[in-house]
Amino acid sequence: MPTIGLGTDKLVDPEKHPEVFFNAITKAKYRLLDCAAIYTNEALVGSAINRVLTTTEIARDSLFVVTKLWMDRFKEPEAALR
């Protein structure tokens, strides 16, 4: 797993940030995306990953998506991470 990743906090603009994610993966060669549900951008990140996988030669197993489990969600971790 890469040690340097793209932090996705604050990247929530549906008009410009999908392109930011796409370019980070394809041009800047980020392979680690640091995410969290509280950032509310799962759809944008997922859409960018889908675009990368369907329009480039980058394989899914070369991308790492990490997330966080907040302390208020410890009782239902599986549901929180879904």
Domains of the chain, by residue range, sit at 6-81
Q: Which residue out of 17, 25, 39, 45 is catalytically annotated?
A: 39
| 13-51 confidence digits (pLDDT tens) | 999 999 999 999 999 999 999 999 889 999 999 999 999
Q: Is 39 a catalytic residue?
A: yes
Alpha carbons 79 and 9: distance in angstroms, whole number: 21
Contact 78, 51 (CB under 8 A): no
pLDDT grade for 82, boundaries at 50, 70 and 90: confident
Q: What is the pTM of this model?
A: 0.84
Residue of 26, 25, 46 whose CA lies nearest to 37: 46
